[in-house]
């Protein structure tokens, strides 16, 4: 079965927004026959507060190791916030694209419409305006 790693900016965003976005993506991907790994699951994100990026070096090192292991065991990296830059997401995309050679798919309405242009427009394997379009593509291309 195809496993998708959910990537995307979380820091500074309201917890409920992040959790809702990821729950929706998980549901839509599973409906398209895809297994999902969400690194935000089980991390104790408070829906009422912004996601806090303040932590110790050791905590961050553990998060990075956990996420890199998950990416190495995935078939596709799906960036849910492809129009918004994030340091962590950039490193995850680099690992997936340059080291592992696994597809990087973006949900990025501005990039999909041509309103935003950058390296990601060139290096991503596919860009879609909605998670529904991305999930259908992943299901057809990689889960079949």
Predicted confidence at residue 31, as pLDDT, reads: 97
**Residues 127 and 112: beta-carbon distance below 8 Å:** yes
* Amino acid 52: pLDDT: 82
What tens-digit pLDDT sequence spans the chain (144 residues)?
A: 899 999 999 988 999 999 999 999 999 999 999 999 999 998 888 999 988 878 899 998 999 999 999 999 999 999 999 999 899 999 999 999 999 999 999 999 999 999 999 999 999 999 999 999 999 999 999 987
Number of domains in the chain: 1
Contact, 83 vs 116, CB < 8 A? Answer: yes
The domain of 73 spans: 3-141
- CATH, residue 23: 3.40.50.450
CB-based burial, 69-83: b 16+ in 10 Å, e otherwise: ebbeebbbbbbbbbb
Angle at CA 17, nearest 5°, toward 15 and 21?
120
């Amino acid at each position: 079965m195809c496993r998708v790693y959910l990537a995307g900016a979380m820091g500074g965003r309201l917890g409920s927004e992040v959790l809702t976005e990821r729950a929706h993506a998980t549901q839509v991907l599973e409906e398209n026959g895809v297994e999902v790994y969400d690194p935000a699951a089980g991390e104790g994100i408070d829906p009422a507060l912004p996601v806090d990026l303040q932590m110790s070096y050791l905590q961050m090192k553990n998060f990075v190791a956990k996420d890199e292991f998950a990416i190495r065991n995935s078939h596709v990296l799906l960036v849910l916030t492809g129009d918004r830059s994030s340091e962590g997401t950039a490193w995850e995309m680099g690992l997936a694209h340059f080291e592992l050679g696994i597809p990087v798919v973006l949900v990025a309405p501005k990039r999909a419409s041509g309103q935003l242009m950058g390296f990601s427009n060139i290096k991503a394997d596919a860009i879609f305006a909605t998670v529904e379009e991305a999930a259908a593509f992943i299901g057809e291309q990689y889960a079949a």
